[in-house]
Amino acid sequence: ENIGITSYFSDLEVIDLGYQFLGDLGLAKNCVLSINSIGDEESRRQFKEKFVSYLKNYESELSEDSQKRLKINPLRIFDSKSEGDQKILEGAPRLTDSLNESSREFRDHIFNGLEKLGIPYQSASGLVRGLDYYSHEVFEFITKDLGAQGTVLAGGRYDHLVEQLGGPKASGVGFAAGIERLSLLLEDQFKEAHLDFMVIPVHQDLEMDAFALTEDLRKSGFKLFSHFSGNLSKRMKKANSQNLKAAILLGPDEFKQGKCQLKVFATGEQSEVSLKDLKVTLSKLIK
């Protein structure tokens, strides 16, 4: 959430944050940003009058849910999954046609900003985000990998929500993401994740040093398997069972000299490596 800023830069910042978040998870490439401008209060009021007037001609043909929405929150009808409703909506007035000058300028700044940021998007005139506190830009990141339930992350601007809840007048922009849907999308990536190395202390006095080295290597981007129980033989068997590339063995004498033993499982070779050169050596093994 970004609260207290009316500038369109706030919208761009929040959308970019969502895009980067999905990118960090490796999901952005399979998602499309769908965005629409629903304008300010004046624009929406003008549109709502035209929209309701149009739908009144087809009220008896609307689904039961949409007939209820027509009386309470007409814009929610855009969210209808009914084929009959969607057919009626094809001829309905478009919200974008009712935007006043300031709303159009706000929308154009957003679209220009997205192009500057290199964020691919599609303009979706039917996207209204059913909650009636939104204003100006509303957006969704959608994937085809989840079928009909494709919205992964969604949000928009809410200039009057804080005030409606009894707080001070404060604009806001934000988004929410579905944990369950993100988890489903990430399942395949987790299955494909492969660990490469394991640090094994030869003596129990080096347990903490082995743990510290494991964390240091992880921070440098290496993928390590952890197992802090059992003797040397059991840990080596555990490492073998994980199909790791190599085991990093810390012995008391070598460790005092700033060295370790590196056991490469594919060849069976074991060699002494300086701890200072360890990251370079490991990098060569994963290329």
pLDDT at 147: 74
Beta bridge partners of 33: 121, 141
172, containing H or E segment:
strand 172-177
CATH superfamily of 2-188: Bira Bifunctional Protein; Domain 2 (3.30.930.10)
The DSSP result for 107-149, as a single string, is HHHHHHHHHHHT--EEE-TT---S-TT-EEEEEEEEESTTTT-
Contact (CB, 8 A) for 58 and 88? yes
pLDDT band for 157, please (50, 70, 90 cuts): very high
**163 vs 169: CA distance, rounded Å:** 5
Burial 82-106 (b: 16+ CB within 10 A, else e): eeebeebbeeebebbebbeeebeeb
pLDDT at 200 exceeding the cut of 60: yes
Q: Which of 116, 133, 150 is nearest to 34 (CA)?
A: 150
pLDDT at 190: 65
Average pLDDT estimate for 138-166: 88
Average pLDDT estimate for 244-265: 96
Annotated domain spans of the chain: 2-188, 194-285
Per-residue pLDDT reduced to its tens digit, 171-194:
999 999 989 899 888 886 666 568
Q: Tell me the average pLDDT of the chain.
A: 91
Per-residue pLDDT reduced to its tens digit, 101-113:
999 999 999 999 9
pLDDT at 163: 83
69, containing H or E segment:
helix 64-72
Contact (CB, 8 A) for 106 and 41? no
Q: Which CATH number fits domain 194-285: 3.50.30.10, 3.40.50.800, 3.30.70.3400, 1.10.510.10?
A: 3.40.50.800
Average pLDDT estimate for 184-211: 86
